[in-house]
Structure 1
Amino acid sequence: MSERSPRPAANDNHLLISVFAAPEHSPLFAVSKRVTDCGCNVAEARVAALGSELSVQVLAQGSWDAIAKLENALAKLDRDGELRLTHFRTAAKQQQNSALPYVVEVIAADKPGILSQLAEFFAGHNINIEQLHSTRYRAMQTGADMFSAQITIGIPNTMHLAALRDDFLEFCDGLNLDAIMDPMKF
């Protein structure tokens, strides 16, 4: 009698779905309904208005056959043409017990390259950007174009926090960015 490997548990099968659509086509409803109808569950979801579109990211989890059924349902939804959709199989996020969650907020007069310079700073220090929201807006008083970013980072617990904060604030001063870096409050 040969041993068969056990079938993966429901939470071992994940499908990452990314959808763009006009707000009136309710991409979150369309995708979350398919997830539920196929016997899967929404493990995580993000919705953001970008330009005139809604962006929806959903991490679905379920049994292997439920995920396969969901892939087929999404292919049909994509063919209908109202949504721009991609999906692929992935794994659950690995828990990082050694990373300290910090929140970074940056405000500055807008100029090209601010976001890439921030990303370069964190990458150069081996710090993962976990979440980011950035936008441009006009200052109410002056009408100047402004840049704003809220960034969640994972700082390795082996890193000297005071030195990192000093390096970051010096970096921001050099670019004329108003910034803070604080531990995340839960």
Structure 2
Amino acid sequence: MGELAKQQLVITAIGEDQAGVVSALTQLVSDCHCNITDSRIAILGNELTFIMLLCGDMAAISRVEHLLPNKGMELGLLTMMKRTSSHTEEQFSGGYTLEYLGIDTPGTLSKITGYFAEHNISICSLKSDTYAQDGDIQMRCELEFNVPQELDIDAFKVAFEALSQRLNIDYTFKRIR
């Protein structure tokens, strides 16, 4: 498929976690002659959240846009769609992960993502959850992020160490690209 003919569509489907939902949605996409180029699934409470990035020609994307609302209603899902274009990567000096753990405290994730925003850091992926351990509720989080070329990563890490002490979290940084 030529670059000019390629269209992209982001789909989000949210609803009760039940067997066959993912299969029904991926079959619809396949029947419309679209390709799933990226996807994520998360179970939050009893709800399934399924996000897909589709690629196809104009007619294929239009078929999905036409058929998805009825399929979503049939499956008891809230669905949303938005056309998009290919992501253009800015100039990054590298990609990293940050994993942190600590006692669950309101505002921790907000403070960390705010710190990243202050440093113009692009968060690519974020996963967080809580669990019980030794009578406390613990939090854990993993962020994948890209570091802009102009950022002094060593100074960033030193300042993050001070933030982690104020938030009482243990963490690790890993370079992944």
TM-score by length of 2: 0.93
TM-score by length of 1: 0.88
Matched, 1:137 2:126: no
Q: Structure 1: which 5+ runs fail to align?
A: 1-5
Q: Structure 2: which 5+ runs fail to align?
A: none
CA distance in 1, matches of 2:3, 2:148: 35
Pick the structure with greater CA Rg.
Answer: 1
Q: Which moved more, 1:145-154 or 1:83-92?
A: 83-92
- Please state how far the C-alpha of 1:31 moved relative to its aligned partner: 1.6
CA distance in 1, matches of 2:86, 2:26: 18
Q: Given the alignment, which residue of 50, 54, 60 partners 1:66?
A: 60
For residues 37-186 of structure 1, the aligned pairs below 5 Å read 37-80=31-74, 82-139=76-133, 142-184=134-176
Please list the CA deviations of residues 113-148 of structure 1 after superposition, one character each: whole Å capped at 9, or x if unmatched: 111111111001110111000001111xx1210110
Q: CA RMSD in A?
A: 1.7
CA distance in 2, matches of 1:180, 1:7: 40
- Please state how far the C-alpha of 1:96 moved relative to its aligned partner: 3.5
8 Å contact kept, 1:104–1:182: yes
CA distance in 2, matches of 1:100, 1:112: 30
> SS of 2:18's equivalent?
helix
Q: Which residue of 2 aligns with 1:36?
A: 30
User: How high is the sequence identity, in percent, across the aligned residues?
Assistant: 27
CA distance in 2, matches of 1:91, 1:63: 13
8 Å contact kept, 1:19–1:27: no
8 Å contact kept, 2:8–2:84: yes
8 Å contact kept, 1:25–1:82: no
- Please state how far the C-alpha of 1:97 moved relative to its aligned partner: 4.3
8 Å contact kept, 2:21–2:75: no
CA distance in 1, matches of 2:3, 2:98: 42
Q: Which residue of 2 aligns with 1:3?
A: none
> SS of 2:160's equivalent?
helix
> SS of 2:130's equivalent?
strand
